Structure 1
Amino acid sequence: MNDELLTDDLQTPAKAPDHGYNEDSIRSLDWREHIRLRPGMYIGKLGDGSAYDDGIYVLVKEVVDNCIDEHVMGHGRTIDIKISDAKVQVRDYGRGIPLGKVVDVVSKINTGGKYDSKVFQKSVGLNGVGTKAVNALSGYFLVQSVREGILKAAEFAQGKLTSDAKPSKTSQRNGTLVVFQPDDTIFKNYRFIPEYLENQVWNYVYLNAGLTINFNGQKYYSENGLLDLLARKADVEHLRYPIIHLKAPDIEMAMTHGNDYGEEYYSFVNGQYTTQGGTHLAAFREAVVKAVREFYKKDYDAADIRASIIAAISVRVQEPVFESQTKTKLGSVNMGEDGPTVRGFILDFVKEHLDNYLHKNQLVAEQLRKRIEQSERERKDMAGVKKLANQRAKKANLHNRKLRDCRFHLGENAKDGAEKEALTTLFITEGDSASGSITKSRNVELEAVFSLRGKPLNCFGLKKKIVYENEELNLLQHALNIEEGIEHLRYNRVVIATDADVDGMHIRLLLLTFFLQFFPDLVRNGHVFILETPLFRVRNKKETIYCYNEQEKQNAMRKLGKNPEITRFKGLGEISPDEFGKFIGENIKLEPVILQSDRSIQQVLTYYMGKNTPARQEFIIENLRLEKDLITSDVLPAAEVPVEDLA
């Protein structure tokens, strides 16, 4: 041992330098500074609005949750929501914030009325943070309260009070109005996607009987709660049996089985959509298996019982414990003071009520039994080919030329937490030239590339056995780690990166068919995206402008003046790695793949990938456009690409 490294005769290692660590290194942040410095602690990942759980939607939710809590406590049956490109307005007709506390409620951390459990028995927001985070992260924020003919309003910018008007008389109804604009210095290039907002609104009305939400001029209302939710989400024409709908104080469930692969769940706590589930969803999945086994007196495999299930569970508890401020996953909690655990409560409810329902509805019980035994036969039939395919995939993984992996993966607790994990991405490309450009310009820590050798198999109408028999599809499912479901998905974003031509569109449709046919949860949970790359590069000696459609090209030509150089990118391989780095970095343009609420997966697949149906032929004829017509208009969106011979 080298004695020069020791500081005393006890041979204590020398201390590392402190790098100036002293009293000046200690900082105390006020509430606004802390939220703006660490927004991920309060709203999860920031994002640009292309993912359903991006921060801008959490801001909307935090404001609406307060209105919902008022309704749950019996105050106000209507909520008005208006959302434009940059501004959000939410008005409820509850009691209104006490006038003397209007400023404090939105600007003093840990200030609110929900600490008093007598006032808000089973509320979503309990820690007094939500609207403060919205305020701090908004470029403009207005709060207005009306109580008994008196109006009190205050305005803020980035959490700083800019206007604190005195109370004044008004003829408006009681309630609270919040208007805000997300701060564009934090949420860069953001946009609200209407489908995500609409799903949020639908969930609110399903979970709150008697509530009406007017969203951008359209009325949303539900009479039958979770029964209506499943009726909207499921392909009702192809369900194996009618939806089972059971209710009791503090719990509601609905379930059925369809024909799609995977398990489809919608779980809620106190009206909050827990997208990551938690103890209540785990208990529900366990309870269904136990109840079914006991009813049929057969030890069915749990996977066979839950295969193709479509279900929703909602519970209301006092003081729920969520695993983060965004409230997407429920932790361990009791139903109330001295009450049972959530798990015990759900197990008891499902065991009693589902068993009673099946005894009273013998036809449903028989149809459920047939569905379970069909799943059992399919699983056993696939066992042999699955074993061989997995052995082949294991050998390929030792040197998988198709996959150029990254260092971090979803669920591996990357250094920067949720924000970094949210950026884990797998690009699926067509051919070596496209994958080469992305591979050379990607972020090797967070971005992986899977290269297809050509057009993948059209999986429409095929059984999952084909995934194991087709080497390329099997390697893709192993790269994603979704063989048994998406619980262990390795990448948060699965990005289809194909050329902007007919062949590229065809490959895009074939990949979407693969995911929708066998792994629909991947799409339902917002993990699948389309990469948008520029179609044109317009430049002169001073400036280069990348354009994503014909209109942008025309604007760029006018801006740059006489005779600019125009390049049309026909394929991803034509874009140099240096240029590609600009399109998959901070300014990446991703179009999320969203399932329309009024169309089931089978309807979508039959329309686009089935035989030439009359409906599709009619659509193509009506929307057929000549190339010269496109010069004066935008490029056709993906949904309008002619697909008559793509299947």
Structure 2
Amino acid sequence: MEINNVYDESQIQVLEGLEAVRKRPGMYIGSTSIRGLHHLVYEIVDNSIDEALAGFCKNINVIIHQDNSITVIDDGRGMPVGIHHKMKIPTVEVIMTVLHAGGKFGGGAYKVSGGLHGVGSSVVNALSVVCEVEVKKEGHIWKQTFAKGKTTSTLVDIGTTSEHGTKVFFTPDPEIFEEIDFDFETLSQRLRELAFLNKGLRITLTDERDGKNHEFLYEGGIKSFVDYLNRNKGTIHETIYMEGSKDDYVVEIALQYNDTYTENIFSFANNIDTVEGGTHLVGFKTALTRVVNDYAKKFGFLKDNDKNLSGEDVREGLTAVISIKLTDPQFEGQTKTKLGNSEVRGIVDGIVGEAISNVLEEDPQLGKSIIDKGLNAARAREAAKKAREFTRRKSILESTTLPGKLSDCASKDPMECEIYLVEGDSAGGSAKQGRDRKFQAILPLKGKIMNVEKQRIDKMLASLEIRAMITAFGAGIGKDFDVTKIRYDRIIIMTDADVDGAHIRTLLLTFFYRYMKELVEGGHVYVAQPPLFKVAKGKKEHYVYTEKELEETLVEFGGKDSNTDIQRYKGLGEMNPEQLWDTTMNPEERTLLQVHVEDAMAADEIFTILMGDKVEPRREFIQENAKGVLNLDI
């Protein structure tokens, strides 16, 4: 399809008005939480990215100002400023004030688009107390202002220029959003991702609140992306990059195996993160499994009567990025992040199949490494299958020989049930006595559980503590995990507030994230917050959870003197059942931290750093994050 080099008023089609956005903002940006707030920036940046995809933009600058207002500047063609043929007002005003007005419907202005079909700019305007647009185009600088979706000035020619592009400034409306405080790292993560997906595009992020600045420019594109994702892992070979096109479809794939046991495949369609996968991901997986098995048979790694390697075996330790650009993407799934175009599967399969075959033929050593890893994975999978069957047969709920005996709750309704994973037998004993037996189950864990980051699933399933958790939860593990069968709606980690307790929490979270990811993603995992101190003076008694709270409590008690008794809790075992209930287990009084995973890439990176083999990234992570530690006891 020919792309029209002209981007003007004739290409902007109007579909409907803007009234509903302020009434129901969640329909347009997902939520009015911090996530929705950041979505405003992405909407404006996506319009600049569309200019880059069309070949007209090389630089995008994002600035967070002191008051949490935002400026996004690009050097694309500049929004059209001529009078719109149907609306009879400047086209830039149509784009900013009318929902579904954009150059993404007719196919003339944009062959490929990642924005939400012209929704972006008008929605950001509707949800901002002030919004200003400056357009540099055809020798002029044009400016127009808006507020809460309405126009507040006419389009004015304010000067001359030889440059071109669009600058959008906006201040989010505090009446709409729960909080107006942009997170530099959240924005940085997404902008870095966009720079990887659009090689040669320079994106800068500047934070005027503290002077932070990040610049992203990757000439290697998604090949650099895979290098970045694997930078803290031991890799087996150089990153393989392949690209191909058919009709109006452009496919890019980069992949590299590492020495871990988990796969990380990230797929994108027109820069949109297709977290639920889709036809491009299916095409990639099908081709990779087929080609590796064909190669294994051809060169005798697999005998004629041997079973084929499964897709799971072939992908063990694989990091890959799949990026497809297409004219008319069809998204489906719960969150509209699953690519549905049926023809894409065959296109990706064909491109990947041919490219991987060539790579393996040219590099027999690489072929052997991949097949060896797959064969080891297959052996581990068989062993794990037997271990799973053993776990199902030998129910820990009825076993007297295994440690960490579960004290179950009376209720059988998962929605009202919760299970405490408690560090140590003494704390477990107190928790069992102090709990509400109707809905609270207790599973004491002996010592530190296995670091699953460094083990295959078969070795992991040999651990009694891990088997105890799997059986108690009742929802399986790994690929078999089914969150709908979970026996407890809330899984609560309760450890001491010291270094060992923090380590146990991290080990448990690593296990959940790697093998029961839906538990974390569904918000079922919590961390209990036991008190650090008990302050008593006369008849007054107060439990305190932080050092800061201790200072405030002492002021409240009239200062520290000889009559003030401060008890420092070194561990949960020091509390009697009644105290444990009052402070940490009573739903009316307790504080629970819900564990969230906002970004799969960031989570993968953190678990790799904290629990993987490389020491240097872990040291750097601890040094960078030490200042943010709230409770540390050494």
Is 1:504 aligned with 2:506? no
Residue-pair matches, total: 558
Structure 1 CA distance for aligned equivalents of residues 319 and 239 of structure 2: 9
SS in 1 for 2:461: helix
Task: Tell me how far 1:455 sits from its aligned partner.
Answer: 3.9
Query: How far does the alpha carbon of each residue in 1:175-233 deviate from its partner, in whole angstroms, 9 at most, with x for none?
Result: 22233344444442465444332221121111112100111222111111111111111
Residue in 2 that maps onto 1:12: none
**Which residue does 1:483 correspond to in 2?**
477
- With 280-289 and 474-483 compared, the bigger mean Cα shift is at 474-483
1:104 aligns with 2:94: yes
Q: Which of 208, 212, 222 is the aligned partner of 2:198?
A: 208
Whether 2:352 is the aligned partner of 1:333: answer no
Q: In 1, are the aligned partners of 2:523 and 2:594 still within 8 Å (CA)?
A: no
TM-score (norm 1): 0.71
Q: Secondary structure at the match of 1:123?
A: coil
Q: Are the counterparts in 1 of residues 145 and 154 from structure 2 also a CA contact under 8 Å?
A: yes
Q: Which residue of 1 aligns with 2:402?
A: none
Give deviations 1:606-630, integer Å, cap 9, x for gaps. Answer: 57xx9xx89989999x99x9xxxxx
SS at 1:358 equivalent: helix
Q: What is the Cα deviation at residue 80 of structure 1?
A: 0.5
Secondary structure of the corresponding residue to residue 164 of structure 1: coil
Conserved in 1, the CA contact under 8 Å of 2:446 and 2:465?
no
Alignment deviations for residues 502-552 of structure 1 (CA, whole Å, 9 cap, x no partner): 453232233245357767898899997766788689999xxx999875456
- 2:318 aligns with 309
Query: Aligned equivalents of 1:68 and 1:132: distance in 2?
Result: 17
Query: In structure 2, how many angstroms separate the alpha carbons of the residues matched to 1:468 and 1:432?
Result: 23
Q: Could you say which residue in structure 2 is the equivalent of 1:58? A: 39
- Residue 553 to residue 81, structure 1, CA distance change in 2 (3 Å): farther
Distance in structure 2 (CA, Å) of the matches to 1:425 and 1:326: 28
**What amino acid maps onto 1:505 in structure 2?**
A
| Structure 2 match to 1:177 | 167
Instruction: After TM superposition, give the deviation of residue 494 of structure 1 in Å.
Output: 7.3
Is 1:575 aligned to residue 575 of structure 2?
no
- Letter matched to residue 322 of structure 1: F
CA distance in 2, matches of 1:82, 1:91: 9
Distance 1:187 1:317, change over 3 A: same
Q: Match for residue 318 of structure 1?
A: 327
Aligned 8 A contact 2:609 2:617 in 1: no
User: Where do residues 234-249 of structure 1 align in structure 2 (5 Å cutoff)?
Assistant: 234-235=230-231, 238-249=234-245
Task: Give the structure 2 partner of residue 350 of structure 1.
Answer: 352
CA contact (8 A) 2:582 2:589 kept: no
Distance in 2, matches of 1:191 and 1:604, equals: 28
Which amino acid counterpart does residue 467 of structure 2 have in structure 1?
N
Give the C-alpha shift of residue 354 in structure 1: 1.1
Q: Secondary structure at the match of 1:506?
A: helix
**2:406–2:441: 8 Å Cα contact kept in structure 1?**
no
Q: Does 1:467 align with 2:460?
A: yes
- Alignment-derived partner of residue 295 in structure 2: 295
State the distance in 2 between where 1:219 and 1:467 align. Answer: 41
Name the CA shift for 1:62/1:371 in 2 (closer, same or farther; >3 Å): same
1:64 partner letter: V
Distance 1:235 1:269 in 2: 24
CA distance in 1, matches of 2:224, 2:436: 49
Structure 2: how far apart are the matches of 1:438 and 1:107?
A: 59
How has the CA–CA distance of structure 1 residues 166 and 517 changed in structure 2, closer, same or farther, with 3 Å as cutoff?
closer
Question: TM-score scaled to structure 2, two decimals?
Answer: 0.73
Measured at CA, do residues 267 and 405 of structure 1 come closer, stay the same or move farther in structure 2, by a change above 3 Å? farther
AA paired with 2:255?
Answer: M
CA distance in 2, matches of 1:34, 1:90: 25
Larger displacement relative to structure 2 (452-461 or 304-313): 452-461
1:598 to 1:348, Cα distance in 2 relative to 1, 3 A: closer
Q: Any idea what the Cα deviations from partners look like across 1:107-148, whole Å, max 9, x if unmatched?
A: 211211111212100111253223333333445444433323
Q: Which residue of 1 aligns with 2:611?
A: 605
- Residue 64 (structure 2) aligned to one of 83, 102, 119: 83
Q: Is 1:220–2:213 an aligned residue pair?
A: no
Q: Supply the distance in 2 between the matched residues of 1:574 and 1:280 (Cα, whole angstroms).
A: 53
Kept after mapping to 1: 8 A contact 2:243/2:351: no
Asked if the contact 1:389–1:469 (Cα under 8 Å) also holds between the matched residues in 2, the reply is no
Tell me by how many angstroms 1:68 deviates. Answer: 0.4
Q: Which moved more, 1:531-540 or 1:258-267?
A: 531-540
Provide the rounded CA distance (Å) in 2 between the counterparts of 1:171 and 1:101.
Answer: 20
Tell me the distance in 2 between the aligned counterparts of 1:619 and 1:272.
29
- Aligned residue number for residue 35 of structure 1: 21
* Cα distance in structure 2, aligned partners of 1:43 and 1:488: 29
Name the Cα RMSD after superposition.
4.8
Match of 1:116 in 2: 106
Partner of 1:415: none
Does residue 197 of structure 1 match 2:205? no
Q: Distance in 2 between the 1:77 and 1:562 partners?
A: 63
Asked whether the equivalents of residues 97 and 151 of structure 2 are also in contact (C-alpha less than 8 Å), the reply is no
Query: Alpha-carbon deviation of 1:310?
Result: 1.3
- Asked if 1:153 is matched to 2:134, the reply is no
Verify the 8 A CA contact 1:529 1:592 in the aligned structure 2: no
Q: 2:229 aligns with which of 230, 233, 238?
A: 233
- Distance in 1 (alpha carbons) for counterparts of 2:173 and 2:419: 30
User: Against the structure 1 CA distance between its residues 146 and 533, is the aligned structure 2 distance closer, same or farther, given a 3 Å change threshold?
Assistant: farther
Distance 2:535 2:500 in 1: 25
SS in 2 for 1:469: coil
Query: What is the deviation of 1:278?
Result: 1.8
1:420 aligned residue: none
Superposed, which structure 2 residues align to 1:431-470 within 5 Å? Answer: 451-459=443-451, 461-470=454-463
Is the alpha carbon distance of 1:290 and 1:466 closer, same or farther for their aligned partners in structure 2, counting shifts above 3 Å? closer
Shift of 1:76: 1.8
Distance, in Å, in 1 between the alignment partners of 2:493 and 2:242 is: 40
CA distance, structure 2, for counterparts of residue 454 and residue 222 of structure 1 = 47
Amino acid in the other structure paired with 2:157: S
Percent identity over the alignment?
Answer: 26
SS class of match (2:46): helix
User: Which stretches in structure 1 are left out of the alignment for 5+ residues?
Assistant: 1-29, 335-340, 410-423, 626-633, 643-647
In 2, distance between residues paired with 1:615 and 1:98? 48
- Equivalent residues of 2:478, 2:516 under 8 A apart: no
Distance 1:382 1:129, change over 3 A: same
CA distances 1:52-103 after superposition (whole Å, capped 9, x unpaired): xx32333322221111001111222111112368333321121222231223
**Matches of 2:559 and 2:265 in 1, distance apart?**
57
Aligned partner of 1:163: which letter? T
Taking a change above 3 Å as real, the CA distance of residues 614 and 476 of structure 1, as seen in their structure-2 partners, is same
| SS of structure 2 residue aligned to 1:238 | coil
More deviation, 233-242/215-224: 233-242
Taking a change above 3 Å as real, the CA distance of residues 591 and 468 of structure 1, as seen in their structure-2 partners, is: closer
| Conserved? CA contact 1:76–1:93, under 8 Å | yes
Partners of 2:188 and 2:395 in 1: CA distance: 41
For residues 556 and 180 of structure 1, do their structure 2 counterparts lie closer, same or farther at Cα, with a shift above 3 Å needed? farther
Gap runs ≥5 in structure 2: 1-15, 82-89, 207-212, 303-307, 400-404, 573-579
Instruction: Tell me whether 481-490 or 248-257 shows the greater mean CA deviation.
Output: 481-490
Q: Is the 8 A contact 1:263 1:521 kept in 2?
A: no
- Distance between the aligned counterparts of 1:440 and 1:35, measured in 2? 46
Structure 1 residues 635 and 102: alpha-carbon distance in aligned structure 2, compared to 1, 3 A threshold: closer
- Give 1:134's aligned residue: 124
SS in 2 for 1:96: coil
Tell me the SS of whatever aligns to 2:338.
coil
Aligned residue number for residue 93 of structure 1:
75
Structure 2 match to 1:269: 269
Q: Report the Cα distance in structure 2 between the residues aligned to 1:536 and 1:554, rounded to whole angstroms.
A: 11
> Partner residue of 1:421?
none
Given that residues 149 and 169 in structure 1 are in contact (C-alpha distance below 8 angstroms), is that contact kept between their aligned partners in structure 2? yes
Whether the 8 Å contact between 2:62 and 2:71 is mirrored in structure 1 is yes
